[in-house]
Structure 1
Amino acid sequence: MVGLIVYIEQACRNIRYRCKGRFFKLYLQLHGCKVGKGLKCMGFPKMRAVPKKNIVIGNNVTLGRHVVFEIGSEGKLTLGNNVLLADNILLSTISEIKIDDWAAIAENVSVRGSFHEMKKDKPYRLQGNVSEPIVLGEDTGIGAGCVVLMGVTVPKGVFIGSNSTVVKNIELVPYGIYGGTPLKLLKMRD
């Protein structure tokens, strides 16, 4: 009997996530964005800017609670097929963030493709922004609490351990497992 109750509860939860996904898909499509089949949203993602045909979401993507998209009008976000974004994720850029098929991002992760200029002649908040694309390759994993900064390309199969900071001047090897700040190769995937 307990097994039946658990099954019914999981089925109801799955229906609820798919319904939220359909509403979010409709919202994006009304703004000219492309969204594949099977989008699941555990909560409604927050949009810090109105999308303008600049978001592409593949099939069977799952978005957790408190996911924030901060994609500027000139920016672009691409989520491949079977991408998983857990809870409390920020994706922010004025250029491009591309997350390939089967990539997963754990909770409390910040992916920032842009930042303020840092010139000394005026306050930084009055300066423009600089931005570089971020690419997370196929079958990559970003651990809980990580920060991924502009200009980073994470190759296929790489896993980044929890609470790590990924900056562009680190060359990552495909299928490597990395961790720490500064980021270091811990071992290779078997």
Structure 2
Amino acid sequence: MAYDGFARRLHTMLPGGHRLRARLANSICASVERSARIAPDVKLSRHLVVLDGAGIGAGTLFTGAERITLGRRLKMGPRCMFITNDHPVPADHQTFSEIRGTNRPIVVGDDVFIGAGSIILGGVTIGRGAAVGAGSVVVRDVPPGAVVVGAPARVVYTRNA
């Protein structure tokens, strides 16, 4: 509550408000390094782990009941979504209420770039040095150094990371 009411607006009140937001976020999340940069209007999760130097874009959403780990020196555009929970489509003659939802962790490696508006779904690992194009929907693992774009995200090339 204190984070939503106060910390999200620190950027307009104090220079370096992102550092204070990171400290307050550490009381909500599993772990947030002091050097993390958290932009305004981020919706945090108690399952979130943010490593050294990671940057979280404005308006980003973290949701679900599994751990989300953000690697060192991560760069992220605004309005990304990290969703660990999912609900499979039921077989014929079954309803959604008869099928149990799933939760799987998300792991983002070091030195990764995630473009604005990207969606990262549960069970995904994004390898070190990878880049996710803006608006991409990542539904499967991204190899280290890969550049992925689209919905669903596909590798367009691999850079030497």
Q: By the TM > 0.5 criterion, same fold? A: yes
Which whole-Å CA distance do the structure 1 matches of 2:61 and 2:21 have between them?
20
Which whole-Å CA distance do the structure 2 matches of 1:87 and 1:111 have between them?
13
Question: Does the Cα contact within 8 Å between 2:80 and 2:116 map onto a contact in 1?
Answer: yes
Show structure 2 runs of 5+ residues with no match. Answer: 1-10
- Given candidates 83, 90, 105, the residue that maps to 2:76 is 105
Which whole-Å CA distance do the structure 1 matches of 2:51 and 2:100 have between them?
30
Which whole-Å CA distance do the structure 2 matches of 1:160 and 1:23 have between them?
25
Larger radius of gyration between Structure 1 and Structure 2: 1
Show structure 1 runs of 5+ residues with no match. Answer: 1-12, 30-50
**Aligned-pair identity (%):** 19
Tell which has more relative contact order, 1 or 2 (C-alpha 8 A, sep 6+): 2
Matched to 1:25, the amino acid is R
Question: Does the Cα contact within 8 Å between 2:19 and 2:35 map onto a contact in 1?
Answer: no
Match of 2:53 in 1: 82
Structure 1 position 21, deviation (Å): 4.1
Summarize the alignment of residues 1-190 of structure 1 with structure 2, pairs less than 5 Å apart: 16-19=14-17, 21-22=19-20, 25-26=23-24, 28-29=26-27, 51=28, 55-71=30-46, 76-116=47-87, 118-119=89-90, 121-124=94-97, 128-168=100-140, 171-190=141-160
Structure 1 position 70, deviation (Å): 3.7
TM-score normalised by length of structure 1: 0.67
More strand by share: 1
Structure 1 position 78, deviation (Å): 0.5
Structure 1 position 91, deviation (Å): 0.8
Aligned Cα root-mean-square deviation (Å): 2.6
User: Residues 16-54 of structure 1: CA distance to partner in whole angstroms, max 9, x if unpaired?
Assistant: 15357436625744xxxxxxxxxxxxxxxxxxxxx4xx5
Which whole-Å CA distance do the structure 1 matches of 2:115 and 2:50 have between them?
18
Structure 1 position 58, deviation (Å): 1.1
TM-score normalised by length of structure 2: 0.77
Which whole-Å CA distance do the structure 2 matches of 1:20 and 1:162 have between them?
23
